Amino acid sequence: MSMYQLPEHSLLRKKQFLYGVATASFQIEGAADSRLPCIWDTFCATAGKIKDGSDGKTACDHLRLWRDDLDLIESLGVDAYRLSLSWPRLIQLDGELNPAGLQFYIDLLDELKARNIKSFVTLYHWDLPQHLEDKGGWLNRDTAYKFADYVEKVSTALGDRVYSYATLNEPFCSSFLGYEAGIHAPGLTGRGNGRKSAHHLLLAHGLGLQVLRRTAPHSLNGLVLNFTPCYPHTDSPADKAVAEQADQYYNQWYLQPVMTGQYPEYFNRLTDEEKPVIEAGDMALISQPLDFLGVNFYTRHVYTANADHEFAVVEIKDAEKTDIGWEIYPQAFYDLLTSMHQKYKLPPIYITENGAAGADKLENGQVQDEQRQRYYQLHLNALHQAVEAGVNVQGYFAWSLMDNFEWAEGYSKRFGIVYVDYNTQQRTIKQSGHAYRQLLQSRV
């Protein structure tokens, strides 16, 4: 495949539609010795938590190779680069800015601006400083105020360098995977932990957004949420009911309070011990207007009513899946965007992550990642159809720029459109990346 194909009249083929690539600090930066420890350092050092026993101490060595990486980003012809800032790199134990960490990001953002590449900055992509976790982490309401203080210091110091700020990336992953299911750092479990941490994360978003309105009034300020649409296995009322409940629990739990100032109806099913403490003014803070909403999408889940498990996921055995085991189902991308559009009065949307893990091999200097190319083609088509149906989508970011530390999967899963040889740190653009570049070059 030489290039992704879209209808000639598609908004996605116009220059005003923004295209980018995305990364996250812990996944690529390395240089762990030049920042404070974070919850992922601790999690990686805990036996059995990371699939391949690896860690993020070196990752893609981006802190050393960032200029080469910007050359790579520029060569793809993108309009924007979505990156996250490392809280433990920027803030010292005494709460003051770390001059060296700040200078790294200033240099990076200045260089992006010089190359006319818009910076989409995420302020929190899961790497909570460990000393804050030691005081309760996201189970401690005070962490939300610590986050606001971090946002104030950093956004003030960065001035007008940032085109767009997102307060948080995927609070579902931080709260549910980190504090309820124990799959991600810090590895805690329990429904009460999950729901309480989710509320404090959303509060942090609200407080952070309030700060950004003051310190970065000219940037686009918003939030990035991930969605895994929930489908019933059959048309039975029981399956439909459980799919609706799962959607409230996993998806709407984060979107609905931001859009309406209220948690989904499922909130009333929680015990008093499981419910977060909601103080006066919390929901108004959480539901402030956004300049944009970032939407991350990869796959769907199918649910069936089950006596043993409230949200029983059904594996669709004959479906095509990516290397991480996620079903390729682009219809869910269209269904997600159009259903959100119908349900809420949405701000402009950016697709801030979309992509596929592949069992990629570098052979004769090339990576022929046919499945990933097909994945992108199908999802760009679904996005085009959603835009045609009236959804206001302003841009799209491929996840990810390059292979990197894939959280609990370690280095065993590759999502990049650029291949990374971790022994040499050599980068090689995959066929999916070449196709992406050609689509961007073909815009009118």
Neighbouring C-beta atoms of residue 315, cutoff 10 Å: 10
What is each CA distance from 15 to 3, 10, 442, in whole angstroms? 16, 11, 9
Say if residues 318 and 302 touch (Cβ distance below 8 Å). no
121: closest CA among 312, 300, 299, 352? Answer: 352
Tell me whether residue 353 is one of the annotated catalytic residues: yes
DSSP string, 72-114: HHHHTT-SEEEEE--HHHHB-TTSSB-HHHHHHHHHHHHHHHH
Distance CA 161, CA 164 (A): 9
Distance CA 399, CA 79 (A): 15
162 alpha-carbon distance from chain centroid: 18
Distance CA 379, CA 133 (A): 37
410 alpha-carbon distance from chain centroid: 17
Distance CA 21, CA 119 (A): 10
Tell me whether residue 273 is one of the annotated catalytic residues: no
> Annotated catalytic residue: which of 133, 170, 180, 406?
170
Distance CA 441, CA 444 (A): 9
Which amino acid belongs to residue 411? Y
132: closest CA among 147, 114, 111? Answer: 147
Tokens of 255: 């979107």
> Annotated catalytic residue: which of 29, 133, 180, 353?
353
Q: Catalytic site residues?
A: 170, 353
